[in-house]
Chains A and B, each alone.
Chain A
């Protein structure tokens, strides 16, 4: 059975977050880009939507639809600005992994720290500085056995808000297989390097995190003796990041329609010119298609089915489309498109940056 109908709760949640995105977040996006940070008040307000807390509160019995709900809401945040989407998706990815795959003791120790009213950063750290920074098959970060538990060494790049994170979920090779380790930021041997600057997503400056013989207890391994399904964490993160990009695309489309209807050139509105109208339609079609791919992958994740293929499809398609659509957004505004007085250049930089982050899991 295929249904695109949302439940009442999903509808209300989406509508609430859409309102919040338009009224509160959108007007703050430019300043966050200029400042290179989202201020703490805004992060707290974002947190007060309760998206992360709701995931913590869910009991295991009910029909869990956290991936589809995440896709819906991250699209709305991405519409406001991708940086806000990432600021929420990042701790959400961490909490989801702990909630779904952590041991009872890990859940008890960690989840309450994310259940409060104040924003709490944490991130899944996957991407690595080497050339092979794709997926989880060739990790250079390693966890070796140690009398205390594990000894972790390596480096991770593109960790959003790394300087604010209380914990990282580090994807590392362990016993020849990918595995995940919960590492407090203040553990001895962990250093955060925030010296580099990126093209977009300035509000959630990504950092490089190094692990030099970080000694971890047995309780650091996600799922402890059971271990965890790292691919599931990666799949969910891909769908989350893609959903943010869908929101960016919708934002560009909305803006382009409004602008081209207003802007008159050679006696008629731009939107009346066939070449422009065709492009607007293509932008709309591709945004819809991207969204459906995200929803399909999210549905599979929620059902516990293998979702790697659909998540990868959603990711690769959405990235291509977001790069093209945001570029069109700049183009359709002509000489105004790349000026900072307009938001499209910001969306273009953000989309380009987010579509490069094969910190897959880091967002």
Chain B
């Protein structure tokens, strides 16, 4: 079974983002970029499926600026077999990404598509669900466990009330949650070998998809600074303060 893993290049999770002076977006100049952590989990899950003999080929795909090639090479170094880079120097919104992925799915016919549940830059949490709708495939989102048996895949989902297990017929779409697995570190020999794995370069036009943004960002601003707290002497004072603030009766 072929597994398709879309990965996104995002601002590194360790970086404290800063808003541009003109409020037009987040300042990405000289900022460390990495693979979206949820996508790393997706790559890891695909590799584990391959190690179990369930998956036969892992194809990583990324949509973004040319530098996203580095993110794909990282996926290849972790264990993906080949990669597709769809270059777009302008930002592509989740629906545009899902439309492009739907075309890739039609072309590659993967048994499973494993995506991160969301990217940590825009936190949209939309692409996987949109892709499922566009391709008419069943979806198992926020997966914390994935078990493939024949042509069904059992996905344990992290939902508000606890854990829910759904059974999907392949081909299917899965989005990963944080606790699905712990991604491996690519070893240096594998990083070197990734250089010679195939990486195809495409553009949205190759797939006939219009990725013009439908949304316009009006303003990006820093969250308000947290006010300093106060110390109270005892429970009575605390209760009085809460009453004064109108949050307790």
Contact = CB atoms under 8 A, between A and B. Distances in A.
Interface in A20-66: 20, 22, 48-51, 53-54, 57-58
Contact of B185 (A20, A53, A54, A57): A20
Interface string B73-91: 1100100000000000000
Contact of B186 (A16, A53, A57): A16
A15 interface: yes
A12 B189 contact: no
A305 interface: no
DSSP class of A's interface residues: helix, strand, loop or mixed? Answer: helix
A53 B189 contact: yes
A12 B70 contact: yes
Interface stretch (B22-30, B93-101, B190-198, B232-240): B190-198
A91 to B, nearest CB: 14
Interface of A: 8-9, 11-13, 15-16, 19-20, 22, 48-51, 53-54, 57-58, 73
DSSP class of B's interface residues: helix, strand, loop or mixed? Answer: helix
Contacts of B190: 50
Contacts, number: 52
B176 interface: no
A12 B77 contact: yes
Interface of B: 14, 32, 34, 69-70, 73-74, 77, 185-192, 194-195
Contacts of B188: 13, 49-51, 53-54, 73
Contacts of B74: 12, 15-16
Contacts of A15: 32, 34, 74
A58 B195 CA distance: 13
Nearest to A117: B187
B71 to A, nearest CB: 9
Given A12-B194, A50-B190, 6 more contacts: A9-B192, A12-B70, A13-B191, A16-B191, A48-B187, A57-B189
Contacts of A19: 185
Contact of B70 (A8, A50, A73): A8
A164 B69 CA distance: 41
Nearest to B186: A16
Contacts of A57: 189, 192
B185 A49 contact: yes
B73 A50 contact: no
Nearest to A15: B34
17 contacts: A8-B70, A9-B192, A12-B74, A12-B186, A12-B191, A15-B34, A16-B77, A16-B185, A16-B186, A16-B191, A19-B185, A48-B187, A50-B188, A53-B187, A53-B188, A57-B189, A58-B192
Contacts of A49: 185, 187-188
Nearest to B32: A15
Given A8-B73, A9-B195, A54 B189 contact: yes
A134 to B, nearest CB: 33
A11 B32 CA distance: 11
Nearest to A57: B189
Contacts of A50: 187-190
Nearest to B78: A16
A9 B70 CA distance: 8
Contacts of B192: 9, 54, 57-58
Nearest to A48: B187
Contacts of A54: 187-189, 191-192
Contacts of B185: 16, 19-20, 48-49
A188 to B, nearest CB: 36
B95 to A, nearest CB: 30
Max count, chain B CB within 10 A of own CB: residue among A22, A54, A58? A54
A19 B15 CA distance: 13
Query: Which A-B residue pairs are the 10 nearest by beta carbons?
Result: A50-B187, A54-B188, A50-B188, A54-B189, A50-B189, A20-B185, A13-B191, A51-B188, A12-B191, A16-B186
Contacts of B32: 15
A15 B185 CA distance: 10
Nearest to B71: A12
A49 B77 CA distance: 12
A22 B13 CA distance: 13
